[in-house]
Each structure stands twice: as C-alpha cells, then as structure tokens.
Amino acid sequence: MDLRYSQSEEAFRAELRSWLAEVVPVLPPRPSPHDWPARRAFDTAWQKMLYDAGYAGIDWPVQGGGRGASPVEQLVYLEELERAHAPYVGVNFVGLLHAGPTIVVEGTPEQRARFLPPILRGDEVWCQGFSEPDAGSDLASLRTRAVRHGDDYVVTGTKIWTSHAEVADCCELLVRTSDEGPKHKGITWLIMPMDAPGIEIRPLRTISGSSEFAELFLDGVRVPVANRVGAENDGWRVTMVTLSFERGTAFVGELLETMELLRRLKVSARRSGAWDEGEVRHRVGQMGAELDALWALARRNISQATRTGVPGTGASVFKLAFSELRQRVAQLGMDLLGPAGLSTDELPSADGGEPLGNGALVELWLNAFNRTIAAGTSQIQRNIVAERILGLPKA
C-alpha cells in the first residue's frame, strides 16, 4: 500500500498544473446554468482547449485518439482540474464518458473514424436515450421499436430524462429489435443523429427550475444500419460496457468538489459563529471523515482497476455512499444558510461584504436530490451490491 505518486506521475501533474495555471484564469465568465446554448458553447470551447493541449480523452486508449493515460494519471488529472477550479465536462459528459469509450471498444473502424474525433475536439455533443416512461430501473423492458427497412432502421417510441437533448448532435439510443426470448436479448444500440426528421424534443423542468433533461418523441426516425454498434439484439451487452464506464471514475471529480464545498462551509460557519455549536462541528467532522474515506476508496478502486484492467465492483459501493453523502453535505449548507436559504436570488452578507453565495448553494442542494436517482437509484445500487458482490439470491 503506497499513496505516494511516482516520478512520472508527478511529472505529469506538474506539466498539467502549469498549463491549467495559464489557461483557467483567462477563461470567459461561466454562462448561466439555465442558458443551454451558452453552456454548450462554453463547454465545447473548453473541450477544444483540452484537445489542443493534448488532454482530450485522457482515459481513452491511444487507438481511439485519446491520451491512454493510466488510471492513476486520470486521478491526478481530476485532482488537478479540481484544484485549478477548471470547468467540468458539462454537456460533453455522454460523449466523453459513455458513448465515446463504448465506440472505442465496440465500434467498427468506420464508426471510430466518424464519431470519435468530433467528441474529442468538442465539435459534437451527445445525449443518452436509454430511459423510457415505462422503463427506468427496469431498463431492459424498453419498448422504443426499430424496424429494418433496407439500409435503415425506422425508430418509433418515447425516451425520457434525456439530459442535454436540446443541444445534442448525436444520441446513443437503445431500441427494441426483437420480442422473442428474454427481454434483454432483443435490444440494439444505435447512434441516432439528432437532426434526423421525426424527432420532437420537449424540455422537462427539474425541481431546481432548469431544463436539465427532456422527453424525446421519435416518430419513424430513420437511422442508418451503419450506425449500429455491436450486433443486432446484442445491445444489452454493449450497454453493460457503457454502464461500467459510468460507474468507474466518473464521480471522482465531484467527490473532490464536495470536499472543497465542505471546507467552504467550515469557513462560513467560523465566520458566522455557528462553529461554536458542537453539532455543526460534529457534522463537519463526520462528513469530513466520510469524504476522506471515500477518497481512500476511490484510490483503492483505481489501484485495483490498474491491476485488473476494468473498474471493479467497488464502484457501486462508492456510488451508493457518495450520492447520499453529497446530499448530507448540501443539507448542512442549507442549515447554515438558515433563512437566507429561502431566497434563490443572491443576498448580501450580514456584514455587507462578499455575497453569501446562497443562490448557488440552494441550487446545489436541490440538484443533489438527483444523485440517488440518476445512473441507477440507490435501491438498485443496493440490489447490485447484495446480489453481485455478496451473492444474495434475486427476489
């Protein structure tokens, strides 16, 4: 067990740190979280900068156009980005963390050549069309149908909770191509161009008031057969590949951000005097210890992934614990705000100094509720942990 970084890892860190110190301070101001076209422009411009500097697709293999960094270098990368307050992946999430890696592993050479470079350069944004109104946790029961017509699939159905759909160019789409046999044996993984005729996008308003995700109505949308990733009816296996990426290192950046948030809450509690209450200190200490433990667990998972080549089952344990902890940290933030948490407009601080940051904190608190739902609910994660790790019987 060694927590020291090697010389080459430290060299990578130093190079990245000096690049970030140069570029992050001169980035344009962050757009409003509700202005999606502006968010797309900001996030993709940042992706282009990463690309030009050689940091795009840090975790993608070299043959996919990525940097092929080791899992430990990915960790250093996330640590340094957080340290420099660099932008997050934002609208590039699905392309960089789901669709891209899936195409690297499962795509044809033509698909890799067509779809991977635009993701890395920030030219194309992806969304994920998996969930349906009647197929959420039970994803395999999805019903959006694709029927083969010559060189196309003709797709009809409804998708829901599609994040960033309004600004996406491509959609990783799961469709039903067979009703025979077990339901997960009749699913196919397609790349759907978002400008194809027959797609209607209806934004959905979230509890924080933003239009984070949308409903997609697909009416006879033609998707070329050449856009099929993996064999027909083999989409479930391809999906499992995608989801294993989602539950890997995806949350590490957010963990580090949450640590930073807790430190900020400590500073403001000190300023307001709330720190003198034992209860506030105990909550900070308890959550601080849990964040430290999760950071240790993340490094353990990454060390094991280095050894075995794939993210291990520890990722479910991490996701489960972290998503609930994030909500508790946000809750402490709200409790410290007190009445100021009743306003989503920024308020001046009591001593007339810096603004309180109450608006951002309220939004963070509301958004934290989605962490135990998105990417597999906490109940589903507990089923996974119990059945796949502990070997308990299925219901």
Active site residues: 246
How do beta strands 126-129 and 170-176 pair?
parallel
**Which 184-223 positions form the footprint of ligand FAD (CB under 6 A)?**
212-213
Between residues 205 and 282, which has the closer beta carbon with respect to another protein? 282
What per-residue string of b and e applies to 163-193 under the rule 16 or more CB within 10 Å gives b?
bbbbbbbbbbbbbbbeeeeebbebbbbbbbb
List the single partner that 210 binds among another protein, ligand FAD, none, CB under 5 to 8 Å by kind: none
List the single partner that 221 binds among ligand FAD, another protein, none, CB under 5 to 8 Å by kind: none
Query: For the chain, first and last CA: distance in Å?
Result: 38
Nearest approach, Cβ of 272 to another protein (angstroms)?
15
Distance (Å) of CA 32 to CA 35, 123, 371:
5, 21, 21
Nearest approach, Cβ of 360 to another protein (angstroms)?
21
Nearest approach, Cβ of 319 to another protein (angstroms)?
10
Between residues 98 and 283, which has the closer beta carbon with respect to ligand FAD? 98
Between residues 272 and 377, which has the closer beta carbon with respect to ligand FAD? 377
| Contact in structure between 33 and 39 (CB atoms under 8 Å) | yes
Between residues 102 and 162, which has the closer beta carbon with respect to ligand FAD? 162
Nearest approach, Cβ of 161 to ligand FAD (angstroms)?
3
Stretch that binds ligand FAD, among 44-52, 81-89, 335-343, 367-375 (CB under 6 A): 367-375
CA–CA dist 102, 177 (Å, integer):
20
CA nearest neighbour of 65 among 15, 127, 19, 122: 122
Nearest approach, Cβ of 231 to another protein (angstroms)?
34
Q: Does 373 bind ligand FAD (CB under 6 A)?
A: yes
**Binding-site member from 92, 102, 162, 249 for ligand FAD (CB under 6 A):** 162
**Binding-site member from 111, 141, 156, 163 for ligand FAD (CB under 6 A):** 163
* DSSP H or E stretch at residue 326: helix 314-337
- Angle 89-90-92 (CA atoms, 0-180°, nearest 5)? 70
Give contact residues for another protein (rule: CB under 8 A): 1-6, 9, 72, 75, 262-263, 266, 278, 281-286, 288-290, 292-297, 299-300, 302-304, 306-307, 314, 317, 320-321, 379, 381-383, 385-387, 389-395
Nearest approach, Cβ of 155 to another protein (angstroms)?
35
**Binding-site member from 51, 161, 245, 318 for ligand FAD (CB under 6 A):** 161
CA–CA dist 15, 147 (Å, integer):
51
Phi, psi dihedrals of residue 185, rounded to the nearest 5°: -95, 5
CA–CA dist 210, 204 (Å, integer):
8
**Binding-site member from 44, 128, 242, 358 for ligand FAD (CB under 6 A):** 128
DSSP string, 164-216: TGGG-SEEEEEEE---SSSGGGSEEEEEEETTSTTEEEEEE--TTSS--EEEE
Nearest approach, Cβ of 294 to ligand FAD (angstroms)?
21
The angle, 0 to 180 degrees and rounded to 10, between the axes of the packed helices 252-272 and 71-83 is: 30
| Contact in structure between 13 and 72 (CB atoms under 8 Å) | no
> Other CB atoms closer than 10 Å to residue 198's CB: what's the count?
13
Residue keyed to tokens 């209806």? 202
The dihedral over CA atoms of 261, 263, 266, 268, expressed in degrees to the nearest 10, equals: -60
**Binding-site member from 208, 249, 268, 370 for ligand FAD (CB under 6 A):** 370
**Binding-site member from 61, 118, 136, 357 for ligand FAD (CB under 6 A):** 136
List the single partner that 130 binds among another protein, ligand FAD, none, CB under 5 to 8 Å by kind: ligand FAD
Where do contacts with ligand FAD occur on this chain (CB under 6 A)?
127-131, 136-137, 161-163, 212-213, 370, 373-374, 376-377, 379-380, 383
